[in-house]
Amino acid sequence: MRLSGTSNGVPLFYSMRLGALEDSGVLLVGQGDRFGRICLGKGVGHGQDAAMRKVFIAIPFLLLNEVWAGEVSMARERWEAPETAVFREHRGRAAMELKGGVAVLKETVFRDGTIEFDLEPLGAMGPGVGFRRRDAETYEYFYLRPAKAATAWDGCQYAPVFRGVLIWDLLPEHQGPAGTREKDWNHVKLVVAGARMKVYVNGELRLEVGALRGESREGGILLQGPAIFANLVIREDETEGLRREPEADTTAADRRLVRKWEMSEVKDLGASREVEAADLPGAGATWQPIEAERGGLVNLTRRLGQPAGRPVVWVRTTIESDVEQVKRAALGWNDEVWIFVNGRLVYTGKNLYRKPELRKEPEGRCALGNGDVDLPLRKGRNEIVVAVAKEIFGWGLVLQLADEKGVKLR
């Protein structure tokens, strides 16, 4: 942890102060409101002479650094927390209760290392930890879904926040079972190194992320409710040998994925309108290139954020075909799509999380298999134009041809 008012990320030795010696032989050391305890054994108490106190001061510097760089006080002055946050003892531990909202740890910059804490959920959804926080709209986030069964495939999730949007619905591959206990403490441990992360819940490895997708490489730490938090420990650069470079994209060599697109300007579609051929962008429309990310995802949130209303954007690409043919393609999207081939509407689909009856598998997330579409291709150049509308959270598109026989992608 790098703290302001430090030298090379370590609290200055001369700024330390010694607290009272407890009867149990525990020496309290601290800086500001950050305190740690060093056990010196029974019989070392208030009656020791000055010489012994000098020994205490000579405790190895590295050990003192471990105290400050590790444990984080659950006191209001250490946090930018909402007024509703309650700092109190809970089940014998100094704790922070967040019934809602976010608490940001002050004077902290985290890049790589280990973050551990205890959490008791207070609701069905969402409590977790954010890290590498650049601002309120940009950070990495891991969270639990406590109401899910212990073996549920989506009991916990990693997803970044950028442009103020949590894109959990675009990354179903970063979910897993959590085994969260209700009305009890759960120990959560994150190990972060470069582009990778491992997450343990109650001592079990629950999630491995081979490529973090956020837009900041260092920043603050936050906790988000509803939950009670305690025993927060941060150890920068302790990464347990986890490699920093991202795992290889297993789809990188897949030539069936459509990766090169162009994107139009965003418009408001209105509350209940459906897209029609008459809405296709005209000759004077402005287009800009956009390329698919890992897995072929055209991540519209990264580029556009969360425009107001019911935003719609057009993306287009071309497919060269050797012959006239119908080419099958798998499709993933959030939240609504309309697909046109050479100006003709060939597919419409809705994948709306807020309406369970309109969720596509897996549970309203964007994934290949949300739908399949037949693309009627003529010999030569074919223009594929897709309108994508957003409802909530992330929005994006992924398109994969069944095979590459007789076609050439842009």
Alpha-carbon span 99 to 252, nearest angstrom: 43
Q: Are residues 279 and 375 in the same domain?
A: yes
Residue-level pLDDT at 126: 86
Contacts 24+ apart (CB under 8 A), 7-13: 9/69, 9/236, 10/65, 10/68, 10/69, 11/64, 11/65, 11/68, 13/61, 13/64
Q: Determine the Cα angle at 370 with ends 386 and 172, to 5°.
A: 110
**Phi, psi (5° rounding) for residue 45?**
-135, -155
**Phi, psi (5° rounding) for residue 259?**
-110, -30
Name the domain boundary from 45, 70, 95: 70
Question: Which residues are CB-contacts of 90 (< 8 A; sequence separation ≥ 6)?
Answer: 97, 120, 228, 230
Average pLDDT over residues 364-389: 97
Residue 251 lies in a domain: no
Number of H helices, E strands in the chain: 3, 32
Rounded mean pLDDT of the chain?
A: 86
> Among 10-14, 262-266, 287-291, which is the least confidently predicted range?
10-14
Q: Are residues 65 and 86 in the same domain?
A: no
Q: Are residues 265 and 381 in the same domain?
A: yes
Residue-level pLDDT at 150: 81
pLDDT band of 397, cuts 50, 70, 90? very high
Nearest alpha-carbon partner for 212 in 145, 251, 252, 167: 167
Alpha-carbon span 266 to 304, nearest angstrom: 8
Domain ranges, residue 53 = 6-70
Whether pLDDT at 300 is above 80: yes
Burial class (CB in 10 A: 0-12, 13-18, 19+), 117: buried
Q: Is there a contact between 226 and 127 (Cβ–Cβ < 8 Å)? A: yes
Q: Into how many domains does the chain fold?
A: 3
Give CA separation, 316 vs 95, 266, 289, 332, 406, in Å.
52, 14, 9, 16, 20
Q: Is there a contact between 21 and 27 (Cβ–Cβ < 8 Å)? A: yes
Q: Which two tokens stand for residue 260?
A: 């090169």
Q: Which two tokens stand for residue 152?
A: 């549920």
Other CB atoms within 10 Å distance of the CB of residue 92: 7
Q: Is there a contact between 5 and 106 (Cβ–Cβ < 8 Å)? A: no
Burial class (CB in 10 A: 0-12, 13-18, 19+), 146: buried
Residue-level pLDDT at 57: 34
Best mean pLDDT range from 10-19, 116-125, 317-326: 317-326
Q: Are residues 89 and 221 in the same domain?
A: yes
Nearest alpha-carbon partner for 324 in 281, 287, 375: 375
The CATH number that applies at residue 226 is 2.60.120.560
Residue-level pLDDT at 151: 86
Alpha-carbon span 286 to 283, nearest angstrom: 9
- Residue with the larger pLDDT of the pair 167 and 39: 167
Per-residue model confidence as pLDDT tens digits over 41-62: 333 333 334 333 333 333 333 3
Q: Is there a contact between 113 and 192 (Cβ–Cβ < 8 Å)? A: yes
Whether pLDDT at 40 is above 70: no
Q: Are residues 286 and 378 in the same domain?
A: yes
Q: Is there a contact between 352 and 391 (Cβ–Cβ < 8 Å)? A: yes
Alpha-carbon span 74 to 96, nearest angstrom: 6
pLDDT band of 69, cuts 50, 70, 90? low
Alpha-carbon span 354 to 364, nearest angstrom: 9
Residue 278 lies in a domain: yes
Whether pLDDT at 19 is above 60: no
The CATH number that applies at residue 328 is 2.60.40
Q: What SS3 class is residue 65?
A: helix
Average pLDDT over residues 241-261: 97
Q: Are residues 225 and 175 in the same domain?
A: yes
Residue-level pLDDT at 388: 98
Other CB atoms within 10 Å distance of the CB of residue 128: 22
Q: Are residues 197 and 341 in the same domain?
A: no
- Residue with the larger pLDDT of the pair 349 and 71: 349
Alpha-carbon span 66 to 60, nearest angstrom: 10
Q: Which two tokens stand for residue 21?
A: 């010696």
Per-residue DSSP letter, 360: P
pLDDT band of 272, cuts 50, 70, 90? confident
Residue 250 lies in a domain: no
Name the domain boundary from 21, 37, 70: 70
Beta pairing, strands 325-334 & 175-176: unpaired
Residue 366 lies in a domain: yes
Q: Which two tokens stand for residue 395?
A: 């929005």
Q: Are residues 98 and 132 in the same domain?
A: yes
Residue-level pLDDT at 357: 95
Q: Are residues 21 and 101 in the same domain?
A: no
Per-residue model confidence as pLDDT tens digits over 113-172: 999 999 999 988 889 999 999 999 999 999 999 988 888 999 999 999 999 999 999 999
Q: What SS3 class is residue 167?
A: coil
Name the domain boundary from 27, 48, 70: 70
Q: Are residues 65 and 83 in the same domain?
A: no
Q: Are residues 63 and 88 in the same domain?
A: no
Whether pLDDT at 313 is above 80: yes
Q: Are residues 177 and 277 in the same domain?
A: no
Residue 13 lies in a domain: yes
Residue 346 lies in a domain: yes
pLDDT band of 16, cuts 50, 70, 90? very low
pLDDT band of 318, cuts 50, 70, 90? very high
Average pLDDT over residues 307-314: 96
Residue 332 lies in a domain: yes
Q: What SS3 class is residue 207?
A: strand
Residue 134 lies in a domain: yes
